[in-house]
Amino acid sequence: MPHDTLQARAFWLAAPGQGEIRDERLAAPDPDQVLVRTLYSGISRGTESLVFRGEVPPSQYHAMRAPFQRGDFPAPVKYGYCNVGFVEAGPEALRGQTVFCLYPHQDRYVVPATAVTPVPSTIPPGRAVLAANLETALNVLWDATPRLGDRMTVIGAGAVGCLVARLAGQMPGCVVQLVDVDPRKAALATRLGVRFATPEQAEGGQDCVIHASGASAGLTTALELAGFEATVVEASWFGARPVSLPLGEAFHANRLRIYSSQVGTVATAQRGRWDHRRRMATVMELLADPVLDTLIGGDHPFVGLPRVMADLSRNPGVVPCHRIVYADTG
């Protein structure tokens, strides 16, 4: 590199509810590192909104750290994990490639070469912002262990919920309903190839229910829709908010199980043979599905990210994944 240091800009949460763009200085990459120029990043709306509002409970400060997070909760902190960029410098095998990295919202960064995953040339770079959420969806399904022909319900039509519904809907014989309180999400369900229902319309007696709405009312609905000896997989994360559940009523009579799922650890059923790198390689194959473009919208400029995050923390809207677009930093 011609200079020992490089300039970058990054999004930081300066205080709960207040984001800003800060200048950063980067050291030139070592031989086993890559310099990445960001093309797109995606907002993982549920988790990042909790972080933005300062709702990460102190007991989870360590567990919730992102791989390349700087700062500490509640703030100031640089947080995020849906980054797609172009390798400007690094090992010859990676130079010039488009890669995905679990990196925060920043226009340039240096990381170990092992931290990036090449995006196949057949995958539009802008679609790859879904990689982190798709990895979560894959792990959730592994935890749910659905069987051919199951009646499945996914509650919450955010990015993770929609991705779980799309994957489950491609299993032979499975009938999948996507449940959300917002009837405008019906068009999304149609494009994903699954049926849509509001909580009041949803069909009960389900073999497997996956909850991904981030609202305690959604988890209550999951228990109501689960059939005898069914499993409810909790894919939401509530931060510091308490959750109240009706564990009387039919919970015991139906012998229901509630199972937590979290992407940080490979699902139990796969853990003996799979690691994070193999799981992410599979995600890249799954990204070949052009229907996934349905879930992406916004295309907000990076400089407007403080306002976008503030807006999304108050009103998530209909689009599951909001994409951030970066100008060419040269």
Which domains, ranges and CATH numbers included, belong to the chain?
Answer: 5-122+289-325 (3.90.180.10), 133-260 (3.40.50.720)
User: Is pLDDT at 162 greater than 50 in this prediction?
Assistant: yes
Q: What is the mean pLDDT of residues 14-34?
A: 97
pLDDT at 329: 38
SS3 130: helix
pTM for the full predicted model: 0.93
User: Is pLDDT at 159 greater than 50 in this prediction?
Assistant: yes
Q: Alpha-carbon distance 247 to 212, whole Å?
A: 19
User: Is pLDDT at 109 greater than 70 in this prediction?
Assistant: yes
Q: What is the mean pLDDT of residues 166-193?
A: 97
Both tokens of residue 170?
A: 């491609």
Q: Alpha-carbon distance 65 to 56, whole Å?
A: 10
| Contact predicate 68/116, CB 8 Å | no
Instruction: Write the CB contacts of 145 (distance below 8 Å, at least 6 apart in sequence).
Output: 231, 269
Cis peptide before 74 (omega within 30 of 0): yes
pLDDT at 1: 42
Torsion-angle region of 231 (φ positive above 0: left; ψ -120 to 50: alpha; else: beta): beta
Instruction: Write the CB contacts of 2 (distance below 8 Å, at least 6 apart in sequence).
Output: none
- What are the pLDDT digits (tens) for 181-221? 999 999 999 999 999 999 999 999 999 999 999 999 999 99
Q: What is the mean pLDDT of residues 156-164?
A: 97
pLDDT at 330: 38
